[in-house]
Amino acid sequence: MNSLRCWRRINGKRGCFPRFSLVNTIRSKKTKNHDWISYNKNEVIPLKIIRQIAVILFFYILGEIVSKLLIIILPSIFIPGSILGMILLVIGIVTKIVKKEWIEDVAVFLTSNMAFFFIPAAVGIIEYADVLKDSAWRILAFILTSTILSFFVIYFSIKSILWLQGRRRTHE
């Protein structure tokens, strides 16, 4: 029982899971309303995590559906469904349709472990290294140019935002 963490559900049922499981890793902040209460007060496993994953998956699926509809309506334009899903999620958060708390814990977990998700892409690139060898200089030139361009766009964006904020303060 030492390698297992056990919890008791509010209705009295209990269950156990391994100590180093994903559920153990993605613990939410403590709130007043817990769906699950663990024996150890430091370990709280709410169903809130499942709801947060469901919200993110909902916007991903919605983006995929919109992407398929765009292909039918405008066949010359292709936008990946995952990108459309992220755009729809950002619009939902900005318009306050989606609350930040609905996705916060899972989003923090996913972004903190983002490097892990790039491993399959890196393996795929290594697998096709002989194909990429022919156009390596063009790829490197594109990466360097886009990086420098991104630096300048970010620099001027921040500079203009700071100028607008300073201008607004003088008018107040």
Last residue of a domain, which of 76, 102, 117? 117
pTM of the predicted structure, to 2 decimals: 0.54
Regarding whether 65 and 112 lie in a shared domain, the answer is yes
Taking 70 as the threshold, does the pLDDT of residue 172 lie above it? no
Structure letter (DSSP) for residue 12: S
Cβ-Cβ contacts under 8 Å for 23 (sequence gap 6 or more): 17, 45, 49
Regarding whether 81 and 69 lie in a shared domain, the answer is yes
Distances (CA, A) of 120 to 107, 126, 129: 20, 10, 14
Regarding whether 72 and 32 lie in a shared domain, the answer is no
Regarding whether 168 and 133 lie in a shared domain, the answer is yes
Range of the domain at 69: 48-117
Regarding whether 82 and 131 lie in a shared domain, the answer is no
Regarding whether 113 and 156 lie in a shared domain, the answer is no
Last residue of a domain, which of 101, 117, 133? 117
Regarding whether 76 and 35 lie in a shared domain, the answer is no
Regarding whether 86 and 112 lie in a shared domain, the answer is yes
pLDDT in tens, 63-98: 999 999 999 999 888 999 999 999 999 999 999 999
Regarding whether 105 and 126 lie in a shared domain, the answer is no
- 77: alpha, beta or left, given left = phi > 0 and alpha = psi -120 to 50? beta
Tell whether the torsion through CA atoms of 93, 47, 113 and 143 is positive or negative: negative
Regarding whether 164 and 111 lie in a shared domain, the answer is no
Give the tokens for residue 117.
């998700």
Indicate the number of domains in the chain.
3
Instruction: Find where tokens 């001027």 sit.
Output: 156
Regarding whether 65 and 104 lie in a shared domain, the answer is yes
Nearest by Cα to 82 from 96, 94, 68: 68
- Environment class of 63 (CB within 10 Å of its CB; exposed 0-12, middle 13-18, buried 19+): buried
Give the tokens for residue 88.
């729809």
Cα separation, 95 vs 82, whole angstroms: 20
pLDDT in tens, 100-154: 988 988 999 888 888 888 888 888 888 888 888 888 889 899 999 999 999 999 9
Cβ-Cβ contacts under 8 Å for 49 (sequence gap 6 or more): 23, 26, 28, 105, 106
Regarding whether 143 and 113 lie in a shared domain, the answer is no
